[in-house]
Amino acid sequence: MRNLLSANLLRLRKSHLFWGTLALSFGFGVWVAVNQVLEQMRYGGFEDSPAFSRYTSVVGMVIAVFVSLFFGTEYSDGTIRNKLITGQSRISIYLADLITASACSLLFEIAYLIACFAVGTPFMSSGLLRHLETQPTVFVLTIVGSLVLTLAYSALFLLITLNCARKTTSAVACILGAFILLMVGIYLDGRLEAPEYITGYELSIDGQVVPAEPELNPDYLQGIKREAYQFLYDFTPGGQTVQYSMVAAGNLHLMPLYSLIILIVSTGAGVALFRRKDLK
Amino acid sequence: MRNLLSANFLRLKKSALFWGLLLLLFGLGMLFTLHRVKEQAQWGAHFYLTVDLFTYALFLGFGMAAFIPLFFGAEYSDGAIRSKLVIGHSRWAIYLSHLVTSVAVALSAAAAYLAPVLAIGLFVYEPPNMDVGTFLLILLGSLVLLAAYCALYTLVMMNCASKSAAAVICLVGMLVLYVAAGNIEIPLMHPEYMSMEVTDSGEIIPGEPNPRYVGGAKRVVLETLHDLLPTGQSLQYMRADVAHPARLPLYSLIDVIVLTAAGVLLFRKKDLK
């Protein structure tokens, strides 16, 4: 296991993909923070979610590309067969790759955060980090939760990559998977955000525009259906992505737990499939 | 060229990927339409025929980004491109045959989407709230747009030796272009004034000017860029809200010509090992 990890580490050190993704994550952090500071200076406020959480919306895609390309090569170059020949078990190959993928995903997110805080901290009074001042618990839990979320994404995409012999297919499956997860999150958010009552406006007899009687919104989710949607919104990586990127104070204590469940279940399934896979 | 095309079509007929794409688009068309029908029946909502009609302009932007590298990328890894050259086909003929095949795939997938939407929609939706000319221009434009997407992905796929790199570039490129188009749209959507007041005589008095409003030359540049980007066009077609319906197909044609010319030039110089 230690040999496998150090082999991965050596590959990482020489990988343009790894350094490129790290640099892009850092650059993205600088860009987002600078833009937000500029908007703050120009208009006295900003419309979007705070800069520090913005990376969460793209992190799934970043990990999908990185994991499928970096670990997909193990198949196309026959590295996996070599590892087996040298006596490594399939489970340790899988776990070594999981640890490497998770560490890289954490590093990408941390690189973004460092860039963001480096630019943002001097402007703290201007509100870039307003959540740290107003809701410190939400701020900390959002950062911790989005870091744990990257682990869930790594495990999911590694499950696809190590069980798909064709690198192109796994790259397409991972990227489309990340996209579909995000779309599911946005859809769930839209359904849960629908207001319970709709208040229209009507013209009174004297020509004044007055609010009409509130009507029950047919799109509003109720009862067990609402609970099911809320659970999926908290459980699925796409739902978590939407919540973290908006710094929504939802079930912040539960979401990292759900991410860990996804990590464990997908690793279990991945190892079981990988052990039976015909590596030719 | 004819041989190349018939070889491609033969491969298509046997390709699970191709039939899967058609089935997916058909399923999406069916799903959207049935959902709208349910909404109409449940709470008496009314929709125009155009409500989901052109959504394929966005789906196929993503669909072809996955299909083209997966389907044609195998030519590199299997050495089929070298075989085609050895039997005397020119590089530009190979390139064009790929482009024509992918446009045919995109059009078939669009037809697969339109079939359920039109078959049910014509009976349950209100007629489009636009004149026939504009409707046909939007329909034509959205189909020419598919050719622009195919030209873009063919350029990437034919000039990228690594199939997986081509797939990632196409898919991530599509997402980046989509986000770029969305970001260009945001400043264009800010109204010119913070508020408007209507007097008793029906006169409109503008309130405070909106500092976020973009006007003048900058607005023209942003609008042109939005129209030129395939993803900007997709967003407009998807909403069936197109500011310049006559201009967009022309821009797509320009995209096709420029991208194909660049692609053929690069491909002619490429070392195929």
Q: Where are the domains of chain A?
A: 2-276
pLDDT over 90 (residue B27): yes
Q: Which residue has the higher pLDDT, B74 or B173?
A: B173
Most A-contacting residue of B168, B190, B231 (CB-CB within 10 A), to test interface: B168
- Mutation target vs A (from B78, B171, B175, B200; most A CBs, 10 A cutoff): B171
Return the number of CB contacts < 8 Å for A and B.
43
The answer, for A65 touching chain B at a CB cutoff of 8 Å, is yes
pLDDT given for residue A71 in this prediction: 92
Of A43, A65, A218, the CB nearest to B168: A65
User: Is the confidence at residue B202, as pLDDT, over 90?
Assistant: no
d(CA A101, CA B50): 45
Alpha-carbon separation of residue B204 from A203, A266, B190, B196, B200 (angstroms): 19, 60, 18, 7, 10
| A68 inside 8 A of chain B by CB | yes
Comparing alpha-carbon positions, the chain B residue that sits nearest to A65 is B168
Q: What's residue A39's pLDDT?
A: 78
CB A107 within 8 A of CB A55: no
| Tokens standing for residue B92 | 């530009």
| Average per-residue pLDDT for chain A | 86
| CB contact residues (below 8 A), chain A span 139-158, against chain B | none
Cβ within 8 Å, pair A218-B42: yes
Q: And the tokens for A127?
A: 């509100």
pLDDT for res A233: 93
- Average the pLDDT over each of A20-29, A35-44, B94-103, B136-145 and give the range with the smallest value: A35-44
Q: What is the pLDDT of residue B148?
A: 95
B53 pLDDT more than 80? yes
How many angstroms separate the CA atoms of B248 and B224, rounded?
10
Nearest to A168 among B164, B175, B212 (CB): B164
Candidate from A43, A169, A175 with C-beta closest to B168? A175
Residue B112's φ and ψ, nearest 5 degrees, are: -65, -35
- Residues of A within 8 A of B67 (CB-CB) are none
Average pLDDT, chain B: 88
Average pLDDT in the B171-179 region? 91
Q: Say if residues B234 and B61 touch (Cβ distance below 8 Å).
A: yes
Q: Do A168 and B70 touch (CB under 8 A)?
A: yes
pLDDT for position B130: 85
Lowest mean pLDDT among A121-135, B28-42, B67-81, B254-268: A121-135
Tens digits of per-residue pLDDT, A253-270? 899 999 999 999 999 999
- What residues of B are in contact with residue A169 (Cβ under 8 Å)? 70
Chain A CA closest to residue B17? A169
- Distance (Å, whole) CA B61 – CA B150: 9
Residues belonging to chain B with any Cβ–Cβ distance to chain A shorter than 8 Å: 42-43, 62, 66, 69-70, 73, 163-168, 171-172, 175, 211-212
Asked if pLDDT for residue A276 goes beyond 80, the answer is: yes
Residue A212 tokens, joined: 């009409």
User: Which pLDDT does position A206 carry in this prediction?
Assistant: 67
CB of B161 closer than 8 Å to CB of B267 = no
Given this model, what pLDDT does residue A128 score?
A: 55
Work out the pLDDT band at A223, boundaries 50, 70, 90.
confident
| Average pLDDT of the segment spanning A63-70 | 94
Question: For residue B204, what are its two tokens?
Answer: 């409109």
Q: From chain B, pick out residues whose CB is under 8 angstroms from the CB of A175.
A: 167-168, 171-172
Token pair listed for A218: 């047919």
Contacts of B211 in chain A (CB under 8 A): 42-43
**CA-based nearest residue to B163, from B102, B34, B83, B72:** B72
Q: What is the DSSP code string of A119-154?
A: HHGGGGGGTTTHHHHH-HHHHHHHHHHHHHHHHHHH
Q: Of the given ranges (A42-51, A138-147, A261-270, B96-105), which has the lowest mean pLDDT?
A: A42-51
For residue A201, is pLDDT > 80? no
Q: What is the DSSP string of B203-237?
A: -EEE-SBPTT---HHHHHHHHHHHHHSHHHHHHHH
Question: Quick check: A173 contacting B, CB < 8 Å?
Answer: no
For B206-260, how does the pLDDT look when each residue is reduced to its tens digit (9 = 90+)? Answer: 777 777 788 888 888 999 999 999 999 999 999 888 888 889 999 999 999 999 9
Distance between CA atoms of A105 and B116, rounded to whole angstroms?
A: 42
Residues of A with Cβ-Cβ distance to B183 under 8 angstroms: none
| Least confident piece of the model among A69-83, A103-117, A170-184, B131-145 | A69-83
Which of A61, A69, A172 has the CB atom closest to B66's CB atom? A172
pLDDT digits (tens, 9 = 90+) for A156-196: 999 999 998 788 889 999 999 999 999 999 999 988 888 88
Q: Identify from A68, A175, A179 which residue to disrupt to test chain B contact, counting B C-beta atoms within 10 A and taking the largest count.
A: A175
